[in-house]
Structure 1
Amino acid sequence: MTDSAEKNRKSLTTSEITAVAHLYRGEVYRSTIWRTRLDTTTNWAVVTLGVALSISFASPDASPIPLVLVGVLIVFFLMQEARRYRYFNVWRARCRWMETHFYAPMLDDGDLHLEENWQKTLANDYLNPRYHVPMMTAIGRRIRRNYLWILMIQSLAYAGKLAVHPTPVQSLDQAFQRADVGPLPGEIVVGIGLTYVFTWIGIAIWSRNDDNRRAQLRKTDSSMG
């Protein structure tokens, strides 16, 4: 096809439309599969936290250390889920791109508006596949969607354990003593815990601001991601 013919082309053949429809179905299927994998890692995080809660609150003399150690597993699951989200976001973005530039115009006025070259953006994404969001943005999004609540429950459970078991805490010094982990004094353990929580909260806030900034900068260019 010559350059002039390509510029003047404003329609797709029936076979090409059918191929795009099948392509869309395939992308929806892939996004669904990866969305299920996101749910799996979230479920693992919830289950491990539930196990830690059961162990720590099994008796007044039970140690609060499981609530500390489960934080390592939660971070591991968060990293896994963020990685999976980056893959999921590729398929989701392609589906959304076809919905907004192929199906919506076709349903609205029967014109695919190929002159806007949206199909070239989609073709380039297939020719040069890449992640649409960086890892930190993916982590922040997953924290905002699910893991912020998991981290809050973990933190509140740990604080509650120190406050009520084996007897109601009488002073801040006593709470720090209960937080001792081997040679580490309770002050350091609590300080690490606060740093742990506020770090994830900070990443969540940063990713929200970054998403807002990206949305404001996005005009007619690819909205994938």
Structure 2
Amino acid sequence: MGVLAHLYRGEVYRSTIWRTRLDTSTNWSVVTLGVALSITYSSPQASPLPLVLVGILIIFFLMIEARRYRYFNVWRARCRWMELNFMAPMLKEGDLHLEEHWQDRLADDYLHPRYHVSMWTAIGRRIRRNYFWILLIQTIAYLGKLIVHPTPLASTAELLQRAAIGPVPGWLVLTVGAFYCLCWGTIAFISEKQDEKRARMRRDPLGMG
């Protein structure tokens, strides 16, 4: 009993540490986007290019956060498994129900550690929780810059001219930007549907994974 209590405390500590790391990578994305917004809107003549380049950093931070989320999910799942099968039965019935072999599943997770979710699932979840809003603000800010600076937009041809980056034509820049947003939206949507499917099929909806 004492060993399991200390094990639970250790897993809670691990979960807390990795949850903090998730918040840190999100903060990095918010700060870099804020810097790009400040530079881009510092004057009407400022280039919208920083808002394009910050998208690369956002992708980088998203990948880091998804990897960290996979680690966090391992510790979270173990904590939840002990709460569900050890803490709750002890408090409610005073019986651990070892005949259900829940302890074997926990032991196997320690003997053969593995991620409980795929990288794509982790990316989709982080987009839905945080990065959807970051990407939305980036997109709106970029389009807003093209529309209002240096003067209010007068025609579609002018929009394409403002979107051009050096030798890269404006239509190509906007097309790549639309593809960029569509890709992350698609990943988030597919990930959500897969999570819903797993939840329906899972026998222990509050368990590991």
Q: Do both proteins adopt the same fold according to a TM-score greater than 0.5, normalized to the shorter chain?
A: yes
| 1:216 is aligned to 2:207 | no
Contact kept? 1:97, 1:224, Cα under 8 Å: yes
Q: 1:178 aligns with which of 147, 162, 170?
A: 162
Q: 1:41 aligns with which of 22, 25, 29?
A: 25
Query: Normalising to structure 2: TM-score of the pair?
Result: 0.98
1:129-183 superposed Cα distances (whole Å, 9 cap, x missing partner) = 0000000000000001100000000000000000000000011111111000111
Q: Which amino acid aligns with 2:17?
A: I
Q: How far apart in 2 are the matches of 1:165 and 1:130?
A: 51
The aligned counterpart of 2:53 is 69
1:66-145 map, 5 Å: 66-145=50-129
Q: Which amino acid aligns with 2:33?
A: L
Contact kept? 1:97, 1:223, Cα under 8 Å: yes
Q: How far apart in 2 are the matches of 1:216 and 1:53?
A: 42
Contact kept? 1:61, 1:165, Cα under 8 Å: yes
Q: Which 4+ runs in 1 deviate beyond 4 A?
A: none
Structure 2: segments with no counterpart, 5+ residues? none
Q: Which amino acid aligns with 2:91?
A: L
Q: How far apart in 1 are the matches of 2:184 and 2:151?
A: 31
Contact kept? 2:80, 2:207, Cα under 8 Å: no
Q: How far apart in 1 are the matches of 2:54 and 2:32?
A: 7
Question: How far off is 1:128 after superposition?
Answer: 0.1
**SS across alignment from 2:116:** coil
1:45-84 superposed Cα distances (whole Å, 9 cap, x missing partner) = 0000000000000000000000000000000000000000
**SS across alignment from 1:167:** coil
The aligned counterpart of 2:145 is 161
Question: How far off is 1:224 after superposition?
Answer: 1.3
The aligned counterpart of 1:52 is 36
**SS across alignment from 1:132:** coil
Contact kept? 2:70, 2:115, Cα under 8 Å: yes
**SS across alignment from 1:77:** helix
Contact kept? 2:163, 2:170, Cα under 8 Å: yes
Structure number with bigger Rg: 1
Q: Which amino acid aligns with 2:118?
A: P
Identity of aligned residues (%): 67
Query: Normalising to structure 1: TM-score of the pair?
Result: 0.91
Question: How far off is 1:223 after superposition?
Answer: 3.1
The aligned counterpart of 2:5 is 21
Structure 1: segments with no counterpart, 5+ residues? 1-16
- Cα separation, partners in 2 of 1:129 and 1:183, compared to 1, 3 Å: same
Contact kept? 1:24, 1:98, Cα under 8 Å: yes
The aligned counterpart of 1:6 is none
